[in-house]
Structure 1
């Protein structure tokens, strides 16, 4: 959302950012340390933000105001009469309605539906999320895909000094455990047989002879992706995964990489099978697609170039910046 700031300011908005968490929280989270009693300070900060701030003309809300608290408390805190545009790029409602605790499901199962219904506009990252907003009774829903600033991603390939091709993945420790660890019994032997390496950025995984693990940083992520030869995005076919918006795929394609992805949710819309990469469902299909790309550098180049063009045309900030600014303008009450 923050990448839209220059576009919003150019469109006449004065923007104040009010994040719920800080960088320290994320650092502890990704290092496996729990926030403990510090979590309460984030709730107090949010309450002070809403109570002390001058009423704005519009609130652009990412997902929810107060995680794990009922929608009624959020509504009480929000300034009366101010339109809210709520934004969803994950199926966050499944955190509550599919929770293992019956109490959570009963108390919070419809929380996000209430937030959506009270919003003047919902921006949904894919049709799955949009359908939930419509069923919740939102008066207006628009699909806005996840996008990248193409000026921040270079499509020039960075060749590894050892000359080995890189099968790449970028994400977080939790998504590595959920989606990539089950793939390793297939990927590790394939890398050895093909004389390739696996590159995981931000995974928090354990190093092996076939796997190099690189720390994520905003100022290096483009170069780390450019050093890959193939980008992977496996998903399981679950409600949570159907709500994902394909950010990894768009990053890979912005850097001129061919991709191999599961045909789950919006992945099937982003990837043109056989043009910008391959969609693979079974371990055999995954192995065949990756092996084919490793054998054929020209195919990798052709698919990567097609993917870059697709991002420029459909998934770039340069295309969607003005559109989002117009959508937010339309939600401001005269």
Structure 2
């Protein structure tokens, strides 16, 4: 899809001409409807980084999840009350619907759209409205090269920021004993489209081969998975995600054909925990997985089964893959690269997405 916009010439913001500490307020806008959503946590992670440099406000375009509202300063946008960001840098985290009229009433110094959800039907209309049909510049950041190519519009690719000092490998001294069942798990929102319809069949086959299946965000699969004592379907919980990942031997991930993962934040969190990841070969995360070195990609149930059983049998292989996965994530989130991302949003990098 080709999008034609008449781009205005980007002017250097006045606040950059003097002391770089005198920065305009940054507003991060998203839905914040899910306490375990990738877009929500991408927005929060960016907030946590930027708040050390300037004033940052989180804005919700919908009713925010109570769990997030308790922990973070999220304000609900109310156009009729005049409650919305009016100046400064506007960062739209994800495109979920056509933007409301309030965006036309703003006078921002910068507008940045982070396109990290595959919603092509909203992409072009959103950019047209935010740019006032070409009268002001809109910068675009993509979650992956895959999602960038899907819309054929200029922009830069950035990973979703993850705290790799939080997501760390667990001590393995008490695991991988000969009598233990091999623990395979996945983590996502508890919604049917987050799961592939063939997953329950695969889980059943793995149980027959002595595996234990743990699915956080899997209660929606209760009917399909039956009552096997070795398939555990748990509600999703961001607070428990680290402990959940550290208790696994291997991470598995696949979604339905109706959902395309633009990035797959949870896959990189699992890699940061030193887990070998076995993922469907469809999604933004495939750009960081080198099959056989730091993870595995598969196309069919049979391929997934063979890879998972190979990892079950070969402790040395899963340690090797897990260590390479951790090293990959450390390289992606190297302090210098992390600072480059922060500087981009602060307007200090000299890099623009257009």
TM over 0.5: yes
1:58 aligns to what? 89
Residue pair 1:263, 1:281 contacting (<8 A) in 2 also: yes
1:17 aligns to what? 58
Please give the alpha-carbon distance, in whole angstroms, between the structure 2 residues aligned to 1:227 and 1:88. 32
Q: Give the RMSD, CA atoms, in angstroms.
A: 3.3
2:290 aligns to what? 272
TM alignment of 1:107-126, pairs within 5 A: 110-114=124-128, 119-126=137-144
1:3 aligns to what? 45
Please give the alpha-carbon distance, in whole angstroms, between the structure 2 residues aligned to 1:268 and 1:180. 17
Residue pair 2:281, 2:297 contacting (<8 A) in 1 also: yes
Structure 2 unmatched runs, 5+: 1-42
Residue pair 1:150, 1:318 contacting (<8 A) in 2 also: no
2:203 aligns to what? 187
Residue pair 1:236, 1:264 contacting (<8 A) in 2 also: no
Residue pair 2:183, 2:250 contacting (<8 A) in 1 also: yes
1:105 aligns to what? none
Please give the alpha-carbon distance, in whole angstroms, between the structure 2 residues aligned to 1:219 and 1:307. 23
Structure 1 unmatched runs, 5+: 28-41, 98-107
From 157, 160, 177, the equivalent of 1:146 is 160
TM-score (norm 1): 0.75
* Residues 1:272 and 1:299: Cα distance change in structure 2 (over 3 Å): same
TM-score (norm 2): 0.71
Deviation, structure 1 residue 285: 0.9
Please give the alpha-carbon distance, in whole angstroms, between the structure 1 residues aligned to 2:163 and 2:263. 16
Please give the alpha-carbon distance, in whole angstroms, between the structure 1 residues aligned to 2:279 and 2:170. 22
Q: Deviation string for 1:115-170 (max 9, x for gaps)?
A: 576653111101133235543xxxx5110112310011120256569822211100
The number of residue pairs the alignment matches comes to 291
Residue pair 2:77, 2:83 contacting (<8 A) in 1 also: no
Q: Which has the higher helix share?
A: 1
Q: Which has the higher strand share?
A: 2
Please give the alpha-carbon distance, in whole angstroms, between the structure 2 residues aligned to 1:219 and 1:319. 28
2:11 aligns to what? none
TM alignment of 1:54-133, pairs within 5 A: 55-64=86-95, 68=97, 70-71=98-99, 73-77=101-105, 79-93=106-120, 97=121, 110-114=124-128, 119-132=137-150
Question: 1:152 is paired with a residue of what secondary structure?
Answer: coil
* Residues 1:56 and 1:112: Cα distance change in structure 2 (over 3 Å): closer
Please give the alpha-carbon distance, in whole angstroms, between the structure 2 residues aligned to 1:163 and 1:298. 16
2:5 aligns to what? none
